[in-house]
Each structure stands twice: as structure tokens, then as C-alpha cells.
A and B are shown apart, each in its own frame.
Chain A
Amino acid sequence: MDSLIPLFVIIPLATAFLIPIIGKLTIYFAKTITPVVLLILCFYSITLLLSNSKETYIVGGWQPVEDIPIGIYLVLDSFSILILCIISIIGFLVSFYSFEYISYYTSENNFYALFCLMIAGMNGVVLSGDIFNLFVFLEISVIASYALVAFGVGKNELEASFKYQVLGNIASFLILLSISLLYWQTKTLNIADISEVLQTSDDSAFLKFTQVLLISGFGLKAAIIPFHAWIPDAHSSAPSPVSAMLSGVLIKAVGVYVIIRLFFNMFVFTHEIAMVITVLGTLSMIIGALLAINQSDIKRLLAYSSISQIGYIIIGFGIGMVVLSKGGKVSIAVLAIAGALFHMVNHAVFKGLLFLCAGAVEYRTNTRDMGQLGGLAENMPITSTSSLGASLSISGIPPFNGFFSKLIIIIAAVQARFYLVAFLAVVVSIITLAYFLKFQKRVFYGVNKNYKNVKEVPFAMSFSMIVLVVLCLGLSILVIPSIRELILDPAVNTLINMDQYINQVIQY
């Protein structure tokens, strides 16, 4: 039987086009079909994750000529399936949450259509084995996200969307430029094939230029520190479910995932590039946390904290790259990369949850200003408890998942003799705890001045939050060795053994 992996792109894409047509008859079509479709993808991706399957699919059946791939390849390996799982689980919970939340706005059909389009684009980015096709899917998902950021069509939303679009377009130009340079040099677009050609060439100046272009382009999408200007505006202005999607999933699927995939599986990375990535990660970690302290808007605080947490993820991968490029112990690199992957999964869960909690507060009180809020814990027990869980998790308090992933990254940093990075990671973790305690105190505890009569949010919204807070606790089991071997280690192996990915594509 042929592989079924194109369904990850086809199903959400078809749903996106069906919603405006059938949605005209009944408004409940869009509201029900989106969670159902994403739940199906969720089950399918979890099955694939547990069976640890590797699949390759050639779009249109263009068979390779003389062992050179000519068609567009969709490649599913342990790393991409992990990201696919995150996309579909968070996507399902967010779309279920939107059931009540989005009735705030008009034109719900457009919201769900754009949402499905964004999911289709992200799944495409993660699956694509062809670098230009990856660019096309990336544009699909980011254009949908531009529209979703401006969905409220107020002054702030439009301004944020315009900024996001200008910076996003520049990122796309950089990516397109680096793709054309790679094509110029290698005369192929397939990632595995490019990798084979690059292994035999030794034009290092050219390669460095392309790598820097790629880091800047995808760094803009991933909101690493010198390229972060759009993230606080875009994430705070978008409707809360969209912020959860953008912050939890989009910056990882189109930013971090692509950087990691290209640098581990396409380029032979050098020591300098590995150091650049580690330094950028450290800077994002520190500056993001420092900028977050002074924010008074809940969602701006969360957006800055995203920058800081993305820093942790990048540091993990960066340390792994440095150790590998110096020919150090592979076990340290494995530990660092596993920690980074673990933190990536965790960050999607708790940052998604925090944005949903912020949305729940905004839904009932119509404000995001922490100066006016206070004492909501009595009236909104579910929101308060789940946001407390997420806050403890993100600041690294045991037994929540954030503690274990940060611990693994810090242990790896110490073992690789990055003592300064390890020290800074601990300090930033304390700063994170400080500003999340501030967030908890200002919003849920303290004196309730203005909002004595608010009620708990409806079932659809509280259900998503409860599931996510259970996941926050439950994902801690990934630290147990036998479960880690099942889920994280195959992904780490795909990244470290370059030949594994190439063989999967070339010898298909």
C-alpha cells in the first residue's frame, strides 16, 4: 500500500476550502469539522510515533533517474513525526477552545478556514524533503497567520499585522535568496541530494554565506533575539487561540524545525556556525527574560517569555552541534539534543496553555492589563489552577515537565564545559519564576477591585485547558529512560546520523 502521509497536508487543505462553501449553509459545520479533522490527524500521528515508522512518498510518482531524485519528496522520520504530533495535538485543543471563544468575532468561517490553511502549511513544511517546496508551504502557513493576526481588525491588530508582514516578507526574501544560491551551487533542490553534493564540494566561503542567510531568514520566523521585533506585537494582538498556535507551534514548525533539519541533515556544520547558534540562543534566553519582567500586558509578557524559552531550545541544539563539530563525546551531544527536543515539546504545551488562560481572562474581563486585574482565583478556579500549573512548569519547578527538560539542557551544558551558559540558564530560570509569580499575583491573587461578578469560562474552553495542564504533568514521564528511548532517542538519532536521512530518501 502506498504511504498515507500526504493526508497530513491534503486533509486540512481540503477542509480549508470546504468550510467557506458548506459553511454558508450552517455555521456549525466549520465549528465541528475542524476539531474532528485535527483529532483524526492527532490519532494518526500518535500511531505513527509509537510504531516509529519511516516513510517516503514521491508526489506524482516521478521515479528517480539514475539514482538522482527528480520529484518532490515527502519524508517522514522520527524528528518530523514528533513535530507533527505537537502540531495536531495543540491544533486540536486550540480549535476546540475556539468553539466558544471565537463567537466573539464575526465571520467565524473565515477564522476556521485560515486556521486549517495554517495547519496544512505547517504540516507541509515539516514533511517536505524538497527545499523549494518547503518554502512554498512556509509561505502558505505564514500568509494565513498574517491574516489571523489581523483578525480583530482593530487599530492594534492591523498595525501588528503590518509589522509582522514587512519583517516576514524580508525573511522570505532571505530564504528565497539562499535557496537560489544553493540551487546555483548544487543544481538540485532535494535536501538529501544537496547534502550529497555539498559533501564533495569544498567552497567554504560560499557555504558560510548561505548558512548565515538561512539563519537570518529562519531566525526571523523563529524569533531568535536580533530578529524578534515582530513577536510581542503579533502575539499580543492576535486572538488568543491564534496566539497559542503562533507561539506554541508556528515559530517551532517553520523556524526552529527548519534550522535544525537543514543544519543537521543538509550541511556539514562547522565549529563557527555551531558557536554562532549557541551564542544567539544564549542572547535570546537572557534578553527575552529581561524584557519580559517589565511588561504590564499579559500577552506581551508571554510573548517575550517565548523568546526566552526558544533560547533554551536553540542552546540545547547549539551545544550538541558544538560537541559534534569538535569531535567530542557523542553521548553529551545526544543528551543536549534530547533535552532541546524535550523542551520543544514542553514549550508547545505550556506556552499554548498560558495563552489560552490569557484568552480566558480576556474573554471574561475584556482587558489584558495586569494593573486592573486581580483576585480572579475565586471566580475562575479552573483557569487559575491551570495557569498556575503552566507557570510552575515554565519556570522549572519539579515535578512539572519544564523542570526535567531544563535540567537535561543544563546538565549537558556542564558536561560540555559551557559553565557560563549553564549558569546563565539557571539564572534565567529564576528570572522566569519571578515574572510568572508576578503574573500569578497580579491576575489571580491579590485584591479583586473591578471584576467581582465574572464567571468561569464555558466548557469548551476549560476542557482544553484541563487537558493541557494534565499534559504538563504527564509529559514528565518522557524523562524515564524506557519511554525516552521510544520517543526522543529515535529523533535524536535521525539528527546525528546524517546518512540515515539521506539513505531514506536516495534509496527509496
Chain B
Amino acid sequence: MTVNILCFILFLVGLYGLITRRNLVKIVISLSIMEFSLFIFLELVGYIDGGIAPIITGQDANAVYVDPLPQAMILTAIVIGLATTAMLMAIAIRLYRKYKTFDIREIKNLKG
């Protein structure tokens, strides 16, 4: 349960950064923090107290295994997260070349 709460705090840290930071790169970092807190939550969903890695050898009949499916899901989600972060950074750098700044207060062409 403690880990769950810590994971929620990590999510809030990311959310706080997303709302208060004015720098494009810091916004991207905040989004990544939020994303990774979700991955940890997903990992906790499959965790069982005292469970071991689900490599079934048949030697120990009483062994408790953790659920491997969330781990596979996290691997997929990490790959997707990499793609979105790369995309965000690419756009942020392109924006920097156009405006010579990372400050979102300077970048406001679109309104209405």
C-alpha cells in the first residue's frame, strides 16, 4: 500500500510540473514522470507479496509467482512512451529553432 501511495505522489509531482512549468522541455519531462508513475502502478497491479519471477521449472510446487502479463504490458507501453517522448522533443526543438526560446509564454500564435 505504501508503494501505491508513493506511486500516486510521483503522479502528482508530474502533474504539478506539467501545470506550473513554462519551459517546453520541462513539460516533456513532467509528462514522462506521470507516464512512469503509471507504469509503476501497472506493475503493482500484478505484484503478489513474496512472489517470484514467473519462470516455471516445476521444482518447487508451492512457489508463488507474480503475474507476468502486466510486465509484458509495461514493456509495450514503454516503447509507446519512447515514441511519444521522441515526437514531443522533436517538435520542441523545431519550435526552439523558429522562436529561439523554450518559453511557452512567447509561443502563442494560435488563439480563439
Q: Is B88 an interface residue (CB 8 A)?
A: yes
CB distance from A101 to the nearest CB of B (A): 22
Given A159-B109, A237-B110, A153 contacting B95 (CB threshold 8 A): no
* Chain A residues numbered 140-180 whose CB sits less than 8 Å from any CB in chain B: 143, 146-147, 150, 153-156, 158-163, 165-166, 169-170, 172-173, 176-177, 180
CA distance A177 to B73 in the complex (A): 12
CB distance from B39 to the nearest CB of A (A): 9
Q: Is A504 an interface residue (CB 8 A)?
A: no
Chain B residues in 8 Å Cβ range of A154: 98
Chain A residues in 8 Å Cβ range of B99: 155
CB distance from A83 to the nearest CB of B (A): 23
CA distance A162 to B89 in the complex (A): 9
Cβ contact within 8 Å between A162 and B91:
yes
Given A146-B87, A156-B109, A165-B88, A177 contacting B41 (CB threshold 8 A): yes
Cβ contact within 8 Å between A295 and B73:
no
Q: Which residue of B lies closest to A304 (CB)?
A: B112
Given A173-B35, A177-B38, A159 contacting B110 (CB threshold 8 A): yes
Q: Is A193 an interface residue (CB 8 A)?
A: no
Size of A's binding interface in residues, CB under 8 A:
37
Q: Which residue of B lies closest to A143 (CB)?
A: B83
Chain A residues in 8 Å Cβ range of B91: 146, 150, 158, 161-162, 165
Per-residue CB contact flags for chain B residues 61-93 toward chain A (1 = under 8 Å, else 0) read 000000101100100110010011001100110
Per-residue CB contact flags for chain B residues 39-70 toward chain A (1 = under 8 Å, else 0) read 00110010000000000000000000001011
* Chain A residues numbered 223-270 whose CB sits less than 8 Å from any CB in chain B: 232-233, 236-237
CA distance A45 to B7 in the complex (A): 45
Size of B's binding interface in residues, CB under 8 A:
32
Given A146-B87, A147-B87, A156-B110, A136 contacting B76 (CB threshold 8 A): yes
Chain B residues in 8 Å Cβ range of A150: 91, 94
User: What's the dominant secondary structure at chain B's contact region?
Assistant: helix
Q: Is A351 an interface residue (CB 8 A)?
A: no
CA distance A170 to B88 in the complex (A): 13
Cβ contact within 8 Å between B110 and A165:
no
Q: Is A368 an interface residue (CB 8 A)?
A: no
User: What's the dominant secondary structure at chain A's contact region?
Assistant: helix
Chain A residues in 8 Å Cβ range of B69: 183, 189
Cβ contact within 8 Å between B77 and A176:
yes
Q: Is B107 an interface residue (CB 8 A)?
A: yes
Q: Which residue of B lies closest to A70 (CB)?
A: B69
Q: Is A363 an interface residue (CB 8 A)?
A: no
Q: Which of A139, A183, A233 contacts B45 (CB 8 A)?
A: A183
Q: Which residue of A lies closest to B31 (CB)?
A: A169
Q: Is A31 an interface residue (CB 8 A)?
A: no
Q: Which of A159, A169, A295 contacts B95 (CB 8 A)?
A: A159
Chain B residues in 8 Å Cβ range of A139: 80, 83-84
Candidate in B67, B73, B83, B91 with the most chain A CB atoms within 10 angstroms: B91
Q: Which of A162, A172, A183 contacts B84 (CB 8 A)?
A: A172
Cβ contact within 8 Å between B94 and A153:
yes
Query: Known pairs A143-B80, A150-B91. 13 more at Cβ < 8 A?
Result: A136-B76, A153-B94, A158-B94, A159-B107, A159-B108, A161-B91, A166-B31, A166-B88, A170-B31, A173-B35, A177-B38, A177-B41, A183-B45
Can you list 20 pairs linking A and B with CB atoms under 8 Å apart?
Answer: A136-B76, A139-B80, A139-B83, A143-B80, A146-B84, A155-B98, A155-B99, A155-B109, A158-B91, A159-B95, A159-B108, A160-B110, A165-B84, A165-B91, A166-B88, A173-B38, A176-B38, A232-B110, A237-B110, A294-B112
Interface residues of B (CB under 8 A from A): 18, 24, 27, 31, 34-35, 38, 41-42, 45, 67, 69-70, 73, 76-77, 80, 83-84, 87-88, 91-92, 94-95, 98-99, 107-110, 112
Interface residues of A (CB under 8 A from B): 132, 136, 139, 143, 146-147, 150, 153-156, 158-163, 165-166, 169-170, 172-173, 176-177, 180, 183-184, 187, 189, 232-233, 236-237, 294-295, 300
